[in-house]
């Protein structure tokens, strides 16, 4: 699974091993320090080339990610909104509608699935993973086990799921998944506390290392929740702190940056702030944060929508692509791609084709936004409705 590579550190200058030279004789009174190179063996995933290629494929021009990895409970809430029971038959029918949309691969490069969906097939027996591959869409998998209260914090959460992750990841790879997602959250109104930020960053880094060791490109997602009445400058401050911590621990865990993708929140004011920010302002703040914190080795930034309306999420993405960026700047949307689709479908077989066309409309709009060519003329009123839910959980 793994091969040995070597990181060479200058022992005299490394802050991690102090200023005492390994070449200085014990008891020597000389203050002159000699240098000596010290090699430490570091595990490097045998999947490295494949990881880099997978990440590049997902971060391809004009394409982004369709996130349909909602838990069964959350999917049930979506189905309930159109009067359907939460059972496997209805969940399978809805996911089949999405994953068998003809031409979807023109705009979508990856699809994040819930575990149930990874193993499901169409009613005709064709595996969903195969449906995706036929459209040149990379199958992905949600691997975290959800949020639980973080003891010792200010009513904050931490994300569970590291136990058994290696064996689960290996099985997901065999099933056809080639990338993974782990979502943790940071709350601005709750501080955030240093403990919560460190826990989020460390958990993401361990997950990323384990994923790469098993052939899955990790999507790194510390979501800065929209909850709160804080201004955009406060969001920027928190985002910079969180991402600094995340990349510190990614490096500590020897994660290959060329084989990861990021799923950040856009830098916006809190949802209850008295003033909304324009797409241009959001783009300016968000790109400022990314340029200060994200190495150009990372191939793709795939934004989450976080409760923005379908049109808001697309306008903001478009504003960020008005000039070249060091990374592929795109989308990994759930509600911002599915809201109109679900309401068009209404659980009726005769509406499947219309619902699939609605999905293509939203996917194409965000494809254009990734290219910086989107215009909002002609968007429906439904697409302009906000979807923020306070304390939202997947």
Residue from 282, 67, 213 nearest 78 by CA: 67
Is 70 one of the annotated active-site residues of the chain? Answer: no
Nearest 10 degrees: Cα torsion 296, 197, 320, 300? 40
Residue range 144-188, pLDDT digits in tens: 999 999 999 999 999 999 999 999 999 999 999 999 999 999 999
Residue from 287, 183, 190, 269 nearest 230 by CA: 269
Q: Long-range contacts of range 278-284, CB-CB < 8 Å, 24 or more positions apart?
A: 279/312, 279/315, 279/316, 279/318, 279/319, 280/319, 281/232, 282/232, 282/316, 282/319, 283/316, 283/319, 283/320, 283/322
pLDDT at 27: 47
Q: For residue 322, give the DSSP letter.
A: S
What is the Cα gyration radius of the chain? 22
- Mean pLDDT value across residues 335-350: 95
Residue from 66, 62, 57, 60 nearest 371 by CA: 62
Tokens of 5: 């590579």
pLDDT at 40: 53
Percent helix, strand, coil in the chain, to 5, is 40, 20, 40
- Mean pLDDT value across residues 101-127: 97
Q: How many CB atoms lie within 10 A of CB 31?
A: 6
Residue range 4-60, pLDDT digits in tens: 333 333 333 333 323 333 334 444 444 444 555 555 555 556 899 999 999 999 999
Share of the chain above pLDDT 70, in %: 84
Band (80; pLDDT cuts 50, 70, 90): very high
- Following DSSP, what letter does each residue of 220-252 receive, concatenated? EEEEE---SS--HHHHHHHHHHHHHHHHHHHHH
Cα 24 to chain centroid distance, Å, stands at 47
Peptide linkage before 192 cis (omega within 30 of 0): yes
Does the pLDDT of residue 355 top 90, yes or no?
Answer: yes
Helix axes 88-99, 72-80, angle to 10 degrees: 80
Arithmetic mean of pLDDT over the chain? 88
Active-site option among 115, 199, 221, 312? 221
Band (3; pLDDT cuts 50, 70, 90): very low
**CB distance 262 to 223 below 8 Å:** no
* pTM: predicted TM-score of the whole model, two decimal places: 0.85
Task: Determine the Cα angle at 236 with ends 276 and 324, to 5°.
Answer: 90
In degrees and rounded to multiples of 5, residue 357 shows phi and psi of -65, -35
Active-site option among 263, 310, 312, 379? 263
pLDDT at 306: 80
pLDDT at 383: 58
* CA neighbours closer than 13 Å in the CB half-sphere of residue 285: 23
Residue with tokens 């009067």: 83
- Mean pLDDT value across residues 231-240: 97
Tokens of 166: 């290696």
Peptide linkage before 77 cis (omega within 30 of 0): no
Band (292; pLDDT cuts 50, 70, 90): very high
pLDDT at 9: 33
- Mean pLDDT value across residues 93-104: 98
State the Cα–Cα distance between residues 12 and 38, nearest whole angstrom.
Answer: 10
- Mean pLDDT value across residues 346-364: 97
pLDDT at 43: 55
- Mean pLDDT value across residues 227-244: 96
Is 50 one of the annotated active-site residues of the chain? Answer: no
- Mean pLDDT value across residues 304-315: 90
Tokens of 141: 């998998």
Q: Based on the number of CB atoms within 10 Å of its own CB, is 39 exposed (0-12), middle (13-18) or buried (19 or more)?
A: exposed
């Amino acid at each position: 699974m793994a091969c040995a590579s070597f990181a060479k550190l200058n022992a005299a200058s490394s802050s991690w091993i102090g200023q005492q030279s390994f070449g200085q004789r014990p008891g020597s009174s000389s203050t002159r320090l000699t240098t000596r190179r010290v090699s430490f063996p570091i595990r490097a995933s045998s999947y490295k080339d494949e990881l880099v290629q997978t990440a590049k494929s997902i971060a391809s021009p004009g394409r982004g990610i369709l996130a349909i990895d909602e838990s069964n409970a959350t999917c049930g809430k979506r189905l309930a909104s159109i009067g359907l029971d939460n059972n496997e038959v209805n969940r399978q029918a809805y996911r089949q509608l999405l994953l068998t949309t003809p031409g979807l691969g023109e705009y979508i490069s990856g699809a994040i699935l819930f575990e149930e969906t990874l193993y499901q097939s169409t009613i005709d027996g064709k595996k969903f993973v195969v449906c995706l591959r036929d459209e040149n869409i990379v199958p992905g998998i949600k691997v975290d086990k959800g949020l639980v209260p973080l003891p010792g914090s200010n009513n904050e959460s931490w994300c569970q799921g590291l136990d058994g992750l290696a064996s689960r990841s290996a099985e997901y790879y065999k099933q056809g998944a080639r990338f993974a997602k782990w979502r943790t959250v940071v709350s601005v109104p709750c501080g955030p506390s240093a403990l919560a930020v460190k826990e989020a960053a460390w958990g993401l880094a361990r997950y990323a290392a384990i994923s790469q060791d098993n052939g899955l490109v990790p999507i790194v997602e510390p979501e800065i929740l929209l909850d709160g009445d804080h201004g955009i400058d406060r969001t920027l401050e928190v985002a910079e702190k969180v991402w600094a911590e995340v990349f510190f621990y990614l490096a500590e865990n020897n994660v290959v940056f060329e084989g990861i993708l990021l799923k950040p929140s856009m830098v916006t004011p809190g949802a209850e702030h008295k003033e909304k920010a324009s797409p241009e302002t959001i783009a300016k703040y968000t790109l400022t944060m990314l340029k200060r914190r994200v190495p150009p080795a990372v191939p793709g930034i795939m934004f989450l929508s976080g409760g923005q309306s379908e049109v808001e999420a697309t306008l903001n993405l478009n504003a960020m692509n008005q000039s070249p960026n060091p990374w592929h700047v795109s989308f990994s949307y759930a509600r911002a791609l599915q809201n109109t689709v679900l309401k068009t479908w209404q659980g009726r077989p005769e509406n499947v084709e219309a619902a699939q066309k609605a999905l293509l409309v939203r996917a194409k709009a965000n494809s254009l936004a990734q290219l910086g060519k989107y215009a909002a003329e002609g968007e429906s009123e439904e697409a302009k409705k906000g979807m923020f839910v306070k304390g939202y959980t997947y």
